[in-house]
Amino acid sequence: MTSQSQGIQQLLQAEKRAKDKLEEAKKRKGKRLKQAKEEATAEIDHYRLQREKEFRNKETNVMGSQGNLSAKIEEQTTEAIRNLTSSYHRNMESMMKKLLSTICDISPEIHPNFRPAF
C-alpha cells in the first residue's frame, strides 16, 4: 500500500511540475508576444518617420518651384493692376463727358408706337 501511495504522490508531484512548467511557458509566451509587439511598434514608428522625412523632402522640392510660380503670378497681377489704373485715369475724363452729355442733352421725341386717341 505504501508503494501505491508513493506512486500516487509521485504522479501528483509530476502533475504539479508539469502544471508549473505550463504556467511558466505561458508567461514566457506572453512576455515574448509583448516584446514582439513593442518591436513591431518601434519598427513601424521608424518606417513612418522615414517616409514622412522623404515626403517632406519631396514637398519642399515641389513647393520651392511653386514659390517661384507664385512670385511670377504676383508680379503679373501687380502689372495688370497698374495697367488698369493708368487706363482708368486716361479715360475717366472722356467717359464722364460722354455720360453727362447723354444724360443732359435730351431731345424729346414721340415714340413710334404712340397713337393719338382721336
Q: How high is the pLDDT of residue 14?
A: 92
Q: With a cut of 70, say whether residue 64 has pLDDT above it.
A: no
Q: With a cut of 90, say whether residue 90 has pLDDT above it.
A: yes
The count of C-alpha atoms lying within 13 angstroms of the C-alpha of 42, restricted to the half-sphere facing its C-beta, is 6
Amino acid letter for position 58: K
73 vs 65: CA distance, rounded Å: 13
- State the average pLDDT over residues 33-59: 94
16 backbone φψ class: left, alpha, beta (φ>0; ψ -120 to 50): alpha
13 vs 6: CA distance, rounded Å: 10
Look at 117 and 87; give whichever has higher pLDDT.
87
Prediction pTM value: 0.42
3-state secondary structure at position 41: helix
DSSP state of 110: -
- What mean pLDDT, rounded, does the chain reach? 90
- The percentage of the chain sitting over the pLDDT mark of 90, rounded to a whole number, equals 61
